[in-house]
A and B are shown apart, each in its own frame.
Chain A
Amino acid sequence: MKLTFIPAMQATWIGVLVAVGVVAATKPAAAHNPIFTPGPHVVYGGGLEATVGYSRNRASGAGERETEQEVELEFEYGLTADWTAEIELPFVDKDLNDSGSSGLGDIVLRSRYRFLRLDTPGLQRSAAVLGQVKLPTGDDGRTPRLGSGSTDFVGGLLYGHESRRWYYNLAARYRLNTVGGGGLEKGDKQFLDIVGGVRPVLTGYLEPDAVVFLELNWENAGRDTLNGADIAATGGWELFLSPGIFATYRNVALRTGIQIPIAHGLNGTQPESDYRFKFEIKYTF
């Protein structure tokens, strides 16, 4: 199983190199958004930001143990100074009770529109709306499934406060799931996020810079249905405490963080999240 994952990673790096070559003449990009909470910052008109990310999630319980690794390639392009188009290409490796599968996951198309920007000396407050579509590109016939087999939609409202020292973010999102492979429909999901961040050392331009974030992420899912009938041991809520760091040097950024579950109210007996880890490298052209 691991061997099949390696070509996917190689493909990702090849993709990055190709992308770098293709967009060598393009323009600059975004700012600090938290690690697990979508932020209101957008790439401006003509700007391009490329991201390579790795994430690893594990859930266990009820006799199951599921590990999901993902290498993700993401591009964000500025249609205007306040409106972006984004695409996320995930290569997924899943392991469920020692049965594994890997390959292309569900591709995500996303757009953000920043409708508010209040600038004062050393401080920017902004708000944006988020729209997202997840396409059923992952193979849902494999075990474990690489995709949901459904086309799902996310809408959200994002707020950010970014000063020299302190950062605050708020986000609220709703995910509308549709019927996927085999008549399974995952329950709709709501997300609420609260974030605080601090820049311990106030650095100047062309100096390495770091912001430390602490996020509180709440997720609530409705019950899944199979051919219209509720599945009892599905859905419920989970609360995560998520420390992370956003380190930058000029136009290169590293973001990493881990989501640690601190409370939950899941329906019935079902696997619970153990952790979710994420690491990303961003390059702004």
Chain B
Amino acid sequence: MIKFPQRTGLILGLMLFAATAAFADSHVYKLYVDGLACPFCAYGVEKKVGGLDGVEKVEIEIEDGLVAVTLADGATLDEATAKQAVDEAGFTLRKFEAPKK
């Protein structure tokens, strides 16, 4: 049986985790990229998208053609800028998902 202090700690921990996840999601943009077939090609997307203002991290899932872009606090990314960066990398932006506020 979980005692009161332990239970409180567990709840607080879960709340902190949820808050962190929500905070992280609020900075993650999802770019669905067409034409992405190989890891070597993906490096170009990482460099081009990663070079945009405010971008802290770029994660790529080639299988889904998904590029997850994490921005710094206060930074934003619009679809036109993302589309241009992806195009310059030699691919096509199919879908742009901004984080839910």
Q: Taking beta carbons and an 8 Å cutoff, which residues of A are in contact with B?
A: 27-32, 41-42, 44-45, 47, 81, 117, 119-124, 162-164, 199, 202-207, 209, 211, 248-251, 253, 284
CB distance from B54 to the nearest CB of A (A): 18
- Whether the pair A163, B43 counts as a contact (CB closer than 8 A) is no
CB-based contact B38/A209 at 8 Å: yes
Query: Within 8 Å CB of A206, what residues of B?
Result: 39
Residues of A within 8 A of B36 (CB): 122, 124
CA distance A93 to B34 in the complex (A): 45
In the bound assembly, the distance between CA atoms of A27 and B90 in angstroms comes to 13
Q: Which residues of B contact A (CB under 8 A)?
A: 34-44, 46-48, 51, 60-63, 65, 87-92, 94
Residues in A neighbouring B48, C-beta threshold 8 A: 27-28, 44
Min C-beta distance of A140 to chain B, whole Å: 38
Can you list 30 A-B pairs with a CB-CB distance of less than 8 A? Answer: A27-B47, A28-B46, A28-B89, A30-B41, A30-B90, A31-B38, A32-B41, A41-B90, A44-B48, A44-B88, A44-B89, A47-B44, A81-B87, A117-B90, A119-B91, A121-B94, A122-B63, A123-B37, A124-B37, A124-B91, A199-B38, A203-B62, A204-B61, A205-B46, A205-B62, A207-B39, A209-B39, A209-B40, A248-B38, A251-B43
Q: Are A211 and B90 in contact (CB under 8 A)?
A: no
| B47 A32 Cβ-Cβ under 8 A | no
Closest chain A CB from B31 CB (angstroms) = 13
